[in-house]
Structure 1
């Protein structure tokens, strides 16, 4: 079995058949990728840290990955949905609370969670310690959105009105803005 087929099998095993149905396996010149623990672009999104690991160019479009730390009391993203990719989360330390539709999940260290495309979702840290987690987006491409988003927070800046909506249009994100204050008030979290 060659590396390409092994990567396809791994992605299918982790994210399920949705990947195969929506990913064209274009010809690529696959290369091994080693990412040391401290390597990769680092950024901030609000008060949270994000560390970019694999991108869609490195995985023949199959996935993109990031590693993040979300401090206590913070919402990781405004409620949103997307049509073209799923988000898979693995919590490494602490606990995340993830809302998908009307369901709320406590995702503890060692747990995995799938946020499927097409359903409004958000997540937050309502614990007492920072939550460290890996995000896998399948197929890849969402990591480009996250990279551009982190640029809006350079030097402690904050997005200007319209910035998030402009990025959302470019990257298949549909924010559910009316749900944001409801989630923030009900769960005592903030952006």
Structure 2
């Protein structure tokens, strides 16, 4: 076993990367801990909030497991809803977004394969309150992620959710 693949216990409020307070995302397992195989990120999603703009990534697949509450997801051009215990698969190259459609916090675990995309949460730890994004060229180059802010604005309008600074 390599040094990077050591057994680990992470308590329910342990946040080694310090991203939870800023973004609602807690990086639980990094790619170097799995020799690049995967990463694990927890999202605590406040009421009626998006976790990110509509986006797609070229290299990673994501598996979202609902831990509490209920979430909605845009998968291409369809919207699905998932309850506790459900899993949503978002394959690489698929436009998607996840949000909390309800009045109480939701929690999800994202399994990202292969790992590496978790570093994005440290690059953009807090989104501006007006929902705008900084120039995303560097993020696209580094992480292979594209953002669709027109689709994001439509999702916000249609589903009555907000996009911006995390609070909670």
- TM-score normalised by the chain length of structure 1: 0.75
Note the residue ranges of structure 1 that are not aligned, 5 or more in a row.
5-27
Whole-angstrom CA distance in 2 between matches of 1:126 and 1:136: 21
Q: Which residue of 1 aligns with 2:149?
A: 177
Q: Which residue of 1 aligns with 2:18?
A: 42
Aligned CA distance change for structure 1 residues 159 and 170 (closer, same or farther; 3 Å): farther
Kindly indicate whether residue 55 of structure 2 is the aligned counterpart of residue 55 of structure 1.
no
| TM superposition shift of 1:76 | 1.2
Q: Which residue of 2 aligns with 1:146?
A: 121
Structure with larger Rg: 1
Once superposed, what is the RMSD of the aligned Cα atoms?
2.4
Q: Which residue of 2 aligns with 1:8?
A: none
Q: Which residue of 1 aligns with 2:139?
A: 167
Whole-angstrom CA distance in 2 between matches of 1:137 and 1:71: 22
Q: Which residue of 2 aligns with 1:134?
A: 109
Once the two structures are superposed, residues 61-118 of structure 1 have per-residue CA deviations (whole angstroms, 9 ceiling, x without a partner) of: 0101111111111111111111100111111110110111012110111111111111
Q: Which residue of 2 aligns with 1:119?
A: 94
Count of residues in Structure 1 that have an aligned counterpart in Structure 2: 161
CA contact (8 A) 1:33 1:58 kept: no
| TM superposition shift of 1:160 | 7.6
Larger relative contact order (Cα-Cα within 8 Å, sequence gap ≥ 6): 2
Whole-angstrom CA distance in 1 between matches of 2:59 and 2:119: 14
Once the two structures are superposed, residues 122-153 of structure 1 have per-residue CA deviations (whole angstroms, 9 ceiling, x without a partner) of: 11111111011111110000111112221x56
- TM-score normalised by the chain length of structure 2: 0.85
CA contact (8 A) 1:45 1:149 kept: no
Aligned CA distance change for structure 1 residues 180 and 165 (closer, same or farther; 3 Å): farther
CA contact (8 A) 2:19 2:121 kept: no
Q: Which residue of 1 aligns with 2:166?
A: none
Aligned CA distance change for structure 1 residues 165 and 188 (closer, same or farther; 3 Å): farther
Using the TM superposition, name which of 37-46 and 164-173 deviates more.
Answer: 37-46
| TM superposition shift of 1:165 | 4.1
Task: Name which of 64, 68, 74 aligns with 1:99.
Answer: 74
